[in-house]
Copies of this chain bind each other. A is one copy, B any other.
Amino acid sequence: MSSENLKLYESAGSPNSRRVRIFLAEKGISIARVTIDLGAKEQLSEAYSRINPRRVVPTLVLADGTAIGEVPAIFLYLEEIHPDSPLFGTSPKERALVTMWERRMELEGFAAVMETVRNAAAGLKGRAIAGTHDYEQIPALVERGRLRVTDFYADLEARLAELPFVAGNEFSAADITAIVAIDFAGKALNLPMPESHQASKRWYAAVAARPSMSA
């Protein structure tokens, strides 16, 4: 299905952009994309700041020019206008539970990975927090961040030993955020999911096999 009146500003290497690309692919929605060149710091430009004052990708722009930033807000909008192939369940209770689990995957997994990367990468000196303002890196956050990611892997293993997917019996937005965090931890921090985590490995194989994952 093509939603030609929607436009996504995004970047190939951005994990937050990947969360939205996978979400769209799961829904079977094709929309226009505008590449923001993070290598050239295009996200910090005046032009892009007018679209997203936090100067982060991705941003979803509607036909009337309304700009929606923040991945959970983009997920919510896309889920409402394209309810088929639900990624937040099908009832208020399920939506709340997926929202809760997606957020836990973000706070304890995704955000831990990103904080570690941003405080370690030479290219992000002075940009330790994504957003409007510039902050210096804090080396102690790198060490703590690696510990947090390890703790996240342990919690995820305990969860997936009980249920097939993060939020329960069905694949959901929570699985998207979790796998994007894990893939980025492996790539950017050389901190892959432990081989010994059997339940997580079973889950990872099932999720990674979905066609949406190459989006």
A132 touches B103 (CB 8 A): no
**Cβ-defined partner of A70 (8 Å) among B53, B54, B92, B103:** B103
Please state the number of chain copies in the assembly: 2
* Chain B residue with the shortest CB-CB distance to A68: B96
A138 touches B135 (CB 8 A): no
**Cβ-defined partner of A93 (8 Å) among B62, B144, B147:** B62
B103 touches A72 (CB 8 A): yes
Given that A66-B97, A73-B99 are contacting pairs, would A108 and B92 also be in contact in the complex, using a CB cutoff of 8 Å? no
- Please give the distance in Å from A191's CB to the nearest CB on chain B: 16
Assembled-state Cα–Cα distance A131/B148 (Å):
11
A135 touches B144 (CB 8 A): yes
Chain A positions 71-122 with a Cβ under 8 Å from a chain B Cβ? 72-74, 76-77, 80-81, 92-93, 95-97, 99-100, 103-104, 107-108
A187 at the interface (CB under 8 A from B): no
A37 at the interface (CB under 8 A from B): no
A73 touches B93 (CB 8 A): no
- Please give the distance in Å from A130's CB to the nearest CB on chain B: 9
A46 at the interface (CB under 8 A from B): no
Assembled-state Cα–Cα distance A157/B69 (Å):
20
* Chain B residue with the shortest CB-CB distance to A60: B96
A99 touches B81 (CB 8 A): no
25 contacts between A and B (CB under 8 A): A54-B104, A66-B93, A66-B97, A68-B96, A68-B100, A70-B103, A72-B103, A73-B97, A73-B100, A74-B96, A76-B95, A76-B96, A77-B92, A80-B95, A107-B131, A108-B131, A108-B132, A129-B148, A133-B148, A133-B151, A135-B144, A135-B147, A138-B140, A138-B144, A140-B140
